[in-house]
Structure formats: structure tokens, C-alpha cells
Structure 1
């Protein structure tokens, strides 16, 4: 299974932002995709409060100051959020999928059923398949958001006129 990872060379960036506080952008990679994590660190006397955000996904973490492995804990946390392995990430992803399914249901014709799933493509995070009452494939698409996905499915499901456009 492919998952977003932070390259070893970028772990020094995590160590630096945890030491000095402030913000940073850290790239995560799949074999063919880069996703940038926006990191915001607020330092207090004994803790580092970290907020991580990419697209619709976000998470927060509090780490004790002075732990030499904090950048590794932060790396693991960022990868977990990016890959939907945290409660926050899974909950937000589930809500986004439910909203998208509800939205694409407006594009369905009588007797059609839509199935939606997340993709591993950060540019096109939603995928959907539409079948008829017999389970036959009617349309499939991936989209950038719920509106885009619904528009693509609506175009594929719209009845097309008979013939090749010639006039009678």
C-alpha cells in the first residue's frame, strides 16, 4: 500500500521548527505526488504545541520540550494525518466522503446507486462508481471536490441524443 512519507532529508526541518517555533512547510511524497504540510509551532516553557494542515485535513499535537526524538514523533504524526491514520484524519475524511456522496446523489437517475471512496491521488481525492439496479456499471469518475465529481458524473449519466448528430 502506498502512503505519504516525509523524506529523511526533511527531518532536520522538523527538528529546526520544533526548536525555534514558528511556521514551516514540509513536503510529503507518494511515489508520484507531493503534498505540502503547513506546520505551525507555538513554544511554551515546557511544551511545543504543533498544528499541521494540508488541504481539508488537519491535526494538532503537544510535545514536551527537550525530547531529542520530537522531530521523529512529529514526522510520524504528520504521516499519520496525511494517510488518514489518526482519529481526526479519519473523521474528517469520513465526513467529506458523506458530504460528497450526498452531493453526487443529485446527479443520479432513477434506479442508480452511487458508491464513493477516497483515492490516493491528492489532486483528485474523491472517486465514485455508479451502477444500475442490476449492478451494471453506468459511470465512474474521480474529482477534485464534491461539486467537480457530481458534474463529471452528471455529464456521463445524462441521456445522449440518438444518432450521430445528422438532421433528418
Structure 2
């Protein structure tokens, strides 16, 4: 039996609701089954307060507004709930490595771009990174094993995009 997952595109769709507050439904998938997670999000000046319902199961999470990995933390939280791991505070080595890689990538892409990181099924390249610009266009993407490898590939791709844009100006 495979685990439930929240696809990256679903997390990206939740982004607006997380920022604006309100209610949303997010599908949590596995090949043979789909669950709807019902979310209620309330915001204050510093944080997002999330309440999630999976049928009779209810849990809550608070995320800081300035945390660059909050979308990934929301995805992990929903996946943990769907898979019966309610102790979301305990992070795996993979989750820690992904968070550190995301922070390193965010330090090189600049404030006008948004990076997303997710696991893959490839043991030799277990992490996938996608970087979007303000319009939602992909300006970098890669798979890799280590934080340094991901950062260098993204930095190189971003540099090429920036050089092309400078050539057009």
C-alpha cells in the first residue's frame, strides 16, 4: 500500500488561500484512493492558523508568515495527517535536508522568485526543485542529491535567464 501525497500543484493552489485566509479543499491522493482535506485558515499579523479536517480527524498547525518553507510545511502536515502520522513535529532526515536545501536555494534566487522542492522516487536524485518567476513561469528546474548540487544548478539556470533578460533590454 502506498502513502497518501499532496501533489506540488495542489500546494501551489493553496498558496492564495494561505495568504488570504478562508476555506479550501485539498485532495490528498494515493493510487487507489482520494481524500478531501477541508482547511480553514485564519491569519493574523505574524502567522497563519490552519485547521484541517479529514472526516472525523481534525488537527491544527500554525505557520509564521515570513517562513519561506511554509508551503512545504503545510504539504508535509497534510500528508502526515492522511497517513496517520499525527506527530508532525517530528521531522525525518529527508524533511530536514529538503528544508535546508530550500533555504539555500532561496538565498540565491532573489526576492522576486519562488522555489518549490519535493521528493522524487529516484534514489540517486531524491529531490526536485522548481523555481518560478512573478508570472508563474518556470525559470529553473532540476533534480539532485545534495543541497550544493541543487543550489549550483539553480544558480546556473537563473544566471542564464537573467543574462537573456538583460540582452532583451
Q: Compute the TM-score of the two structures, normalised by the length of structure 1.
A: 0.50
Scaled by the length of structure 2, the TM-score of the pair is 0.49
Looking at CA atoms only, which structure, 1 or 2, has the larger radius of gyration? 1
